[in-house]
Amino acid sequence: MLLASGADSGSARNRRCSQPLHYAADGYLDNPFWNARRQVAMIRVLLKAGSNIDAQDKNGATPLHRAVRTRCAAAVKCFLDAGADPTIRNKPGSTPFHLAVQNTGRGGSGAEKARTAQREILQAFLERGISPALKDAKGKSVLEWAQSDGIRQILSGNAI
């Protein structure tokens, strides 16, 4: 309704400089009312309305960083397919791909749903040709940040 009335989705920001697209990227895997299909539909509406797909908040996080951190595989795929830049670093120096291999404590990281989503997210990056050799600001690759044998196995066949 607001967008139909001419609201600018790219100019709305909170005190942390997060835009509506940042919030649309957040998922809630353990919430029974969260729906990935509706989340992706909202992301598409905001992108069509002119939201900046690579907008960074005060911490340097893009919507793709947020989708990865909350383990929303459908949102991650949507952003990557829409042209989000997976090499943008947040202020600590991590790309979204680096966050994907870390246990961030967000999105129920230890739950089976979150682990399944994490594997889907890793595959999404790999299928789109993003290399696990990608370095963060500390010079460490995605593969070097991998916390578990399972994650390293997913990445190792694709590492340069």
pLDDT recorded at residue 55: 95
pTM score: 0.85
Residue 81: inside a domain:
yes
pLDDT recorded at residue 47: 96
Query: Which of these, 66, 70, 85, lies nearest to 125 by C-alpha position?
Result: 85
pLDDT recorded at residue 37: 94
Structural domain count, the chain:
1
Residue 15: inside a domain:
no
Tokens of 69: 């951190």
Residue 12: inside a domain:
no
Asked whether the CA dihedral 120, 121, 126, 129 is positive or negative, the reply is positive
pLDDT recorded at residue 3: 46
Name which residue leads in pLDDT, 6 or 18.
Answer: 18
State how far Cα 36 lies from the chain centre: 13
Query: CA Rg, the chain, in Å?
Result: 15
Query: For helices 36-48 and 73-81, what crossing angle results, to 10°?
Result: 30
State how far Cα 94 lies from the chain centre: 12
Domain that holds residue 95: 20-156
Q: What CATH number has the domain bearing residue 35?
A: 1.25.40.20
- Tell me the per-residue pLDDT of 68-81, one tens digit each, with 9 for 90 and over: 998 999 999 999 99
- Name the percent of the chain lying above pLDDT 70: 82
Residue 107: inside a domain:
yes
Query: Which of these, 94, 92, 103, 159, lies nearest to 130 by C-alpha position?
Result: 159
pLDDT recorded at residue 1: 42
Residue 7: inside a domain:
no
Tokens of 105: 């404590």
- Tell me the per-residue pLDDT of 97-148, one tens digit each, with 9 for 90 and over: 999 998 655 555 577 888 889 999 999 999 999 999 999 999 999 999 987 8
Residue 25: inside a domain:
yes
User: Who's near 7: CB < 8 A, 6+ residues apart?
Assistant: none
